[in-house]
Amino acid sequence: MKTYPAEPFRIKMVEMPNILTKEERIEAIKTAGYNTFQLKSEDCYIDLLTDSGTNAMSDRQWAGLMMGDEAYAGSRNWAHLEATVKEYYGYKYVVPTHQGRGAENILSQIMCKPGCYVPGNMYFTTTRFHQEANGATFRDVIIDEAHDSEIDLPFKGNVDLKKMQALIDEVGAENIPYLCLAITVNLAGGQPVSMANMRETYALCQKHGIKVFYDCTRCVENAYFIKIREEGYADKTIKEIVLEMFSYSDGATMSGKKDGLVNIGGFLAMNDEDMYIKARELVVVYEGMPSYGGMTGRDMEAFAIGIKEACRFEYIQHRVEQCAYLGDKLEAAGVPIVRPVGGHGVFLDARKFLPHLTQEQLPAQTLAAHLYIESGVRSMERGMVSAGRDKITGENHKPKLETVRLTIPRRVYTYAHMDITADAIINLYKNRDSIRGLKFVYEPPMLRFFNARFDYC
């Protein structure tokens, strides 16, 4: 029987959420317009909305907060963060941003121009938004298997090199400023990219003069999968693997709120000096001085410490295997999930969970709302609502994967919380036939999933 690693930490401080009755939860989700983003955090017993900014910091990080140098310019905490990114990720230049999308904004403004194409291994909401806002068209070049929840592959986030070559042949390399490679792939279920695929993708892009920028938000989770799944890496440290991964790229955007083990922060990193000068010019317009970029000195100190802690093997092993534990329990009970379980949570296959609903009846949005009613567990829709509309035709994007994401915050929950979550989902699955679908009653024009409101069809 598979065993799972115990928590490699001791709990020093706790948070006491409200435990609502089912009637109270029905009222709460109705008030929230059946959108889990609109629920009050204190009304969510187990909050699996996101792993973004929800990390529990260590005693050393909290101590680091007291060492914040809040000078407007030249903070020593920036020097610490910059040196840490260079040491752990290997890039020559780093520009701080308040979070990941701040880095995406600057990257897209520098690299994209109207009419260009930006390929990626599956879209991500904020990333594609900034590319499109700067005139680019996104093209998905992930392997086909990533769009199928049942296919079990070790590196389901890989780029399909044939798709990439076909795009180059179709639009010309001169119209592809860069490829955005997500490591891991969030919307595919947290699926990793293999080292071999990173190496080959970089070689293909270099041959055609196309840059490669990583979305390295969950890069440590990706490194763990390489260590346990890819030949030749079992004896390497996580830090060595991370450094090798980044050597096959020209730069990266980072949301520190995930694998940076902090509650806020991000950066844009690169090796090209001219690009760095441009990014420094833009960061003062959108984020702040190049020595803080929207973060406080104390945030930067905690971030620098978090980057180092995340590369400790016992931490990342527990983090990823805790996700597997929840997934394995659900799978054993026959609940349809995206296989294999990825690095940051478990994704329910909402179409298979609620087969009586059409995609227009928003099965993932509906399932997320009902899971909250059933259990007080908050999750997130990752299907048609998140995918938004085509920027030219205005039609809904209809992703093959219509999922509900149970995202596990880092160092926050125990295996007992996973048991409760699994039991609630299994119970809901047994009673799924009576669940009615939802429709939009308010649809915002951009990134609609955050603020949309719904009601029953």
Looking only at residues 168 through 227 of this chain, which bind ligand PM9 when binding is defined by CB under 6 A? 182, 186, 215, 217
Q: How far apart are CA 173 and CA 179, in angstroms?
A: 11
How far does Cα 10 stand from its chain's mean position? Answer: 26
Of 6-14, 98-106, 274-282, 424-432, which part binds ligand PM9 (CB under 6 A)? 98-106
Binding residue for ligand PM9, selected from 96, 100, 288, 306, defined by CB under 6 A:
100
What are 31's two structure tokens? 């008030």
Quick check: 50 binds ligand PM9 (CB under 6 A)?
Answer: yes
Annotated catalytic residue 439: no
Looking up tokens 């029905």 gives 26
> Which residue out of 3, 72, 235, 433 is catalytically annotated?
72
Residue (26 or 447) nearer to ligand PM9, CB: 447
Give me the amino acid identity at 88.
Y
> How does DSSP assign 190-216, residue by residue?
SB---HHHHHHHHHHHHHTT-EEEEE-
129 catalytically annotated: no
Task: Identify the helix (H) or strand (E) that includes residue 221.
Answer: helix 219-229
Q: Which long-range contacts (CB under 8 A, 24 or more apart) does 389-395 make?
A: 391/132
Tokens linked to 86 = 């260079």
Q: Among residues 125, 217, 253, 366, which one is catalytic?
A: 125
CB of 290 to ligand PM9, least distance (A): 19
If the CB atoms of residues 69 and 382 are measured against ligand PM9, the closer one turns out to be 382
Sheet holding 137-140, edge to edge: 93-97, 266-270, 251-255, 211-215, 178-182, 117-120, 137-140
Q: Is 382 a catalytic residue?
A: yes
Number of residues that bind ligand PM9 (CB under 6 A): 16
Which range of residues in 10-18, 27-35, 95-103, 323-331 is near ligand PM9 by CB under 6 A?
95-103
Quick one: which of 170, 177, 183, 186 has its CA closest to 123? 186
Is 449 a known active-site residue?
yes
Tell me which of 91, 123, 124, 225 binds ligand PM9, using CB under 6 A. 124
Cβ-contact 92, 328 below 8 angstroms? no
- Taking the least distance from each CB to ligand PM9, the nearer of 168 and 306 is 306
> DSSP characters for 365-397?
HHHHHHHHHHHSEE-EEESHHHH-B-TTT-PBP
Residue 365 as a binder of ligand PM9 (CB under 6 A): the answer is no
Of 101, 211, 218, 258, which residue is the catalytic one?
Answer: 258
Binding window for ligand PM9 (CB under 6 A); candidates: 123-131, 203-211, 223-231, 325-333: 123-131
By CB under 6 A, residue 55 contacts ligand PM9: no
Element (H, E) at 64: helix 59-65
Contact with ligand PM9 (CB under 6 A) among 257, 339, 351, 370: 257
Q: Which of 26, 67, 79, 126 binds ligand PM9 (CB under 6 A)?
A: 126
Rounded-to-integer distance, Cα 53 and Cα 65, Å: 16
Minimum distance between the CB of residue 140 and ligand PM9, rounded to whole angstroms?
Answer: 14
Tell me which of 58, 105, 125, 291 binds ligand PM9, using CB under 6 A. Answer: 125
Rounded Cα gap, residues 241 and 87, in angstroms: 13
19 residue type, one letter:
I
Task: Using CB under 6 A, pick the residue from 25, 80, 101, 128 that binds ligand PM9.
Answer: 101
Instruction: Please give the helix or strand (H or E) that residue 332 lies within, else none.
Output: helix 313-332
124 noted as active-site residue: yes
In this chain, which of 96, 189, 266, 327 binds ligand PM9, going by CB under 6 A? 266
Which residues contact ligand PM9 (rule: CB under 6 A)? 50, 52, 99-101, 124-127, 182, 186, 215, 217, 255, 257, 266
Residues belonging to the active site: 72, 124-125, 215, 258, 382, 449
